[in-house]
Each structure stands twice: as structure tokens, then as C-alpha cells.
Homo-oligomer: A and B are copies of this chain.
Amino acid sequence: MKFSINQKVLMEHLNYVIRGISSKNLIPILNCIKLELKKEGLYLISTDNEIAIKSFIKADEIDKVDVLGDLLISGRYIYDIVRKLNNEIINIEEIIDSQVLITTETSSFKLNCNEVNEFPDIDLEFSKEPILIDSKVFKTTINQTIFATSNQESRPVLTGINFKINDNIMEVTATDSYRLSKKRITLESNINNDIDIIIPNRILNEIIKLIPDDDTKLELHVFSNKVIFKIKDLLIMARLLNGNYPDTNKLIPDTYELVVKVNLNNFYNAIDRASLLTNAEEKNTINLQIKENVMIISSNIPEIGNVEEKLNISKNVDKDMKISFSSNYMMDAIKTFDSEEIEISFNGEIRPIILKYVDNNDLIQLILPIRTY
């Protein structure tokens, strides 16, 4: 292998594939990035077996191709070296078996490499029926749900996000059994085979850093044990979680005893301030009371002091309410909305609290109350 490439071009693609290398990786070969220099261009591949990333630099973006070939190079070192070089031409050349020379006009690095054939074969195939979705819509959806996934391995399926697709409706769900986030997206076209998969939250966290915040089309290729994301020339493979995701739709009530409308920012700020006088050991519990057209949010730490916040609200029925919940969970949920007002719905103090956009069920945040008596 021997080629010359602009530092900026190579860095852009190293920024993608470095995310496929887990810092906790115990298998040395998986700390490497595989470079495949072919006629059509340069492929960069990384994997930790749970995730795989394959990026592609077209031949016309490469300054000079002298010798085609494959190379397995330490991901961390090539990444740091290229990052610290100036924006100039970098020459990369395999000088002897498994040793690479990286040079610019003034710098010269020799790195030992691993045997290319030790790297796992990664099958990044395409399905016949890819699902098309705006990358921005997908990213927003993940951000609106991922915080509600569980980090406890006792119920592995809850550490992932569930994607269900029927016809042209994609329903995205996350829950840690204390709260639940659900988003509904209408796809551009119907699919023939229903989909019901669980993608690990850790992998989705990496994926949303890799996809652009615009209307670039994202292709999802779903298989029985993996999903492939295609964004332009970037391929990302994610292993799926095995198991059945719980049926969460029955948790969301059809009717409510009381629905209030509240200003989003005022509601968030009031809870944020009230949370100052809560204890982590007591799940940062705060109290919410609705009395006529006022919402009172309160909390206290006996030895320190107490707080009371007042907000004006509007109600659908003349009914009062008292309920307690985790202020952190409530703030996480509120942050997923971007409207001026939201709707908060109640069915009594031991039933879930539901947050929604006013007159729109596409995004639902559910929080279980905490009994304080």
C-alpha cells in the first residue's frame, strides 16, 4: 500500500471510524483500523464486534495512489498522529511487512502494524427493503427517548430502544420501568414486512454522533441479528439485542381525569429550582399540587430548608390534584419538547403522569409517581 492524501480529508474519515473502537476493548486486534486501498478509493473499517463502521474516501479525493493493498493500523495512534499534523499532504506507505511509514515534509512516523488477516470479516450487506428516514428526524427521535432506557443489565432488553414498524408507522420506545418515552414517526413509504427490533443504547449513542443534523436520507437495513445504517458513503453496523420487548402501549391511558396546560420553560425552571432542595437518596422527590388555576411545586430537606414555586395553568376540568415524582425524571422528559406549552395529564396520585404536545400524540413521556405517604 502506498498513497498520498490531504490531512483534512483523512481526518474527517478517521473521526468516523475512531468511534467504532471501544476504549474498554480487551482484544488487541479490535483496537486497529483496517485500511483497504482499492481502485475506487480508500475504505476505513473499525469494529468492536457490537458495532462496525466503514467509511469510504473516493479515489478522486486521494492525491496520489501508488500501490493498492490492505493495512491494519493502531486506531488510537493513527488518529492522534493525523490530528496533530498540519493541513498538508500525508504520505502513507507500507515499507516492510506490517510496518507503515507516515510522512509529511517535516514529520516521519514508523508504526508497527498487525496482520491484516487477523481482523474479523464484517458482512455489511444491504436488505432488499431499506427504511428511509431523514437523519435529523432519526437523531431527534433518539435524543427524545434514549435517556429513558435502563442501564441495568438485570433486564437486558430495557438497555435498548425498541423500533416497531407496521406499514408506514415507526414507533420508537424506551423505558427503564419507572418512566417511558414513546415517539411515532410516519415514514415516506409502506414496508411489507413488519419490523420489531431492539438496538442497544450504547450503540445508538455513538450513531447519533455520526449522523448529520440535516435532511440527509438515512437508510436502515434490518436483519435478524443486526441493523446496517447507511448515510452517504458511511456504513454503520449495530448488533441487535435478543429478547422480546414488553408491550408498553397498554401503559398509556386512553382517558384522563385532569389535563393541564403549562408554559414549558416556566415549568422546567420551577422544577429545576425546586430540585435544589431534594435528596438523591430519596430519588430527588418533589411534590406537585394543582389548586384552582395554580400549580405549586414544592420540596424540602428538613435540615436545610424548603422551596415553593407557583405557576399559572389552564385545566380541562375543575379538579385539584396532589402528586409526587422524581424531579430529575421530570426534567429529562420536559427537555424533549420544544413548544411554548405542553399538556400534562393525570389519573390520580398513584397513576402515571403523561406529558405531550398540546393536541398531538406523536411524542409521549410517561413518569411513574412516587408515593410519599
A interface, CB within 8 angstroms of B: 74, 77, 80-81, 84-86, 99, 106-112, 266, 269-270, 272-273, 276-277, 303-311
Contact of A106 among B112, B277, B310 (CB under 8 A): B310
Contact A276 B80 (CB under 8 A): yes
A-B contact pairs, 22 of them (CB 8 A): A77-B276, A77-B304, A77-B305, A81-B276, A84-B272, A84-B273, A85-B273, A99-B305, A106-B266, A106-B310, A106-B311, A107-B270, A107-B307, A107-B308, A107-B309, A108-B308, A109-B307, A110-B305, A110-B306, A110-B307, A112-B303, A112-B305
CB contacts (< 8 Å) of A77 on chain B: these are 276, 304-305
Contact B307 A86 (CB under 8 A): no
Complex: A16 Cα to B72 Cα, angstroms: 53
CB of A294 to closest CB in B, whole Å: 10
Q: Which 4 pairs between the two chains have the least Cβ-Cβ distance?
A: A111-B305, A108-B308, A84-B273, A110-B305
Contact B304 A84 (CB under 8 A): no
A106's closest neighbor in chain B, by CB? B310
Residue with the greatest number of chain B CB neighbours at <10 A, chosen from A77, A109, A270, A308: A109
A272's closest neighbor in chain B, by CB? B84
Contact A84 B276 (CB under 8 A): yes
CB contacts (< 8 Å) of A86 on chain B: these are 269
Residue with the greatest number of chain B CB neighbours at <10 A, chosen from A99, A106, A269, A306: A106
CB contacts (< 8 Å) of A270 on chain B: these are 106-107
Contact A107 B273 (CB under 8 A): yes
CB of A93 to closest CB in B, whole Å: 14
Question: Given A106-B309, A304-B74, are A81 and B273 also a contact pair (CB < 8 Å)?
Answer: yes
Complex: A269 Cα to B84 Cα, angstroms: 7
CB contacts (< 8 Å) of A304 on chain B: these are 74, 77, 111-112
Complex: A60 Cα to B281 Cα, angstroms: 44
A109's closest neighbor in chain B, by CB? B307
CB contacts (< 8 Å) of A109 on chain B: these are 277, 305-307
Complex: A96 Cα to B309 Cα, angstroms: 21
CB contacts (< 8 Å) of A277 on chain B: these are 109
CB contacts (< 8 Å) of A110 on chain B: these are 305-307
Complex: A109 Cα to B108 Cα, angstroms: 63
CB contacts (< 8 Å) of A276 on chain B: these are 77, 80-81, 84
Complex: A77 Cα to B307 Cα, angstroms: 12
CB contacts (< 8 Å) of A266 on chain B: these are 106
Complex: A77 Cα to B273 Cα, angstroms: 11
CB contacts (< 8 Å) of A308 on chain B: these are 107-108
CB of A314 to closest CB in B, whole Å: 17
CB contacts (< 8 Å) of A112 on chain B: these are 303-305
CB contacts (< 8 Å) of A81 on chain B: these are 273, 276
Complex: A304 Cα to B80 Cα, angstroms: 14
CB of A313 to closest CB in B, whole Å: 12
CB of A100 to closest CB in B, whole Å: 8
Complex: A305 Cα to B272 Cα, angstroms: 51
A100's closest neighbor in chain B, by CB? B305
Complex: A31 Cα to B127 Cα, angstroms: 62
Complex: A108 Cα to B300 Cα, angstroms: 12
